[in-house]
Amino acid sequence: MSEELSAHLDLDALEMLKEIMEDEFSLLINTFLNDAVERIEQINAAINAKNSEDIRRAAHSFKGSSANIGAHVLQGLCLVLEDAGHNGDTSLAPEMAKRIEQEFKIISQLLKSNYLA
């Protein structure tokens, strides 16, 4: 379990967040999880509209909050999508979006069971 956890999340970063947020730590995690659903919707909408600039912006935004929460795999996937949007190459975008959604499901589960229990 702990190995799978550290494969997707930066545990040191999460410890630091606990320390900073104190009582509000779970609120922070919940806020991130709720925000993320919205971000993923934005990404999908941009891909459907084939708007590479919107893809770039949405991916960039999600990348930032993923980084802050210590979700380094999710952060990396968002970066690839952001670059694709930046380069105007949207052919791989639907595939990337799918992988981002999968990764989010994984960390969402991990965060809930390990940090919100």
Partner 1 sequence: MTEQKSLKILIADDNDSDRMLLSAIVKKEGHEVIEAINGAEAVSQYVKHSPSLILLDALMPIKDGFEAAQEIKQIAGNQFIPIIFLTSLQDAKSLARCLDSGGDDFLSKPYNRSILKAKINAFYRMRMMNQMIQEHAQQMVVEQKVAKKIFDNVAHLGCLDSDNIQYSLSPLSVFNGDIVLAERKPDGGMYIFIGDFTGHGLPAAIGAMPLAEIFYGMTKKGFSIHEILTEINTKLTRILPVQFFCCAAMVDLDFVEKTARIFVGGLPALYLWREKSKTFDKIDSSSVPLGVMSRENFKPDIQDIPMYDNDRIFLWSDGIIESRAKDGEMFGEERLENLFNQGKHQDELFNFILDNVDQFMLGGERDDDITLVSAQMVDIESLSDDVVVEKNKELGGPLEWSLHYELQSQSLRVFNPLPLVLQIVTEVDGLKNFSGQLYTLLAELYSNALEHGVLGLDSNLKTSGEGFAKYYSLRKERLDSLTTGFIRVILSHEPLNDGKGGRLRISFEDSGPGFNFQKMLKNEHKIDGYCGRGLPLIRTICEEFYYEGVGNKVNAVVVWPNIVENPKKMAGNYE
> Interface with partner 1 by CB under 8 A: which residues?
13, 16-17, 20-21, 24, 27-28, 31-32, 34-35, 57, 60-61, 63-65, 67-70, 86
Q: Name which of 71 and 96 has its Cβ closer to partner 1.
A: 71
Q: Name which of 59 and 97 has its Cβ closer to partner 1.
A: 59
Q: What are phi and psi of 38, to 5 degrees?
A: -65, -45
Helices and strands in the chain, H and E counts: 6, 0
> What letter would DSSP give residue 9?
S
Least distance (Å) between residue 7 CB and partner 1: 18
Least distance (Å) between residue 79 CB and partner 1: 9
Least distance (Å) between residue 12 CB and partner 1: 11
C-alpha–C-alpha distance, residues 85 and 12, integer Å: 31
Q: What is the largest CA-CA distance in the chain?
A: 44
Question: What is the chain's percent helix, strand, coil content, to nearest 5?
Answer: 85, 0, 15
Least distance (Å) between residue 28 CB and partner 1: 6
Q: Name which of 86 and 99 has its Cβ closer to partner 1.
A: 86
Q: Name which of 1 and 35 has its Cβ closer to partner 1.
A: 35
Other C-beta atoms lying within 10 Å of the C-beta of residue 75: 19
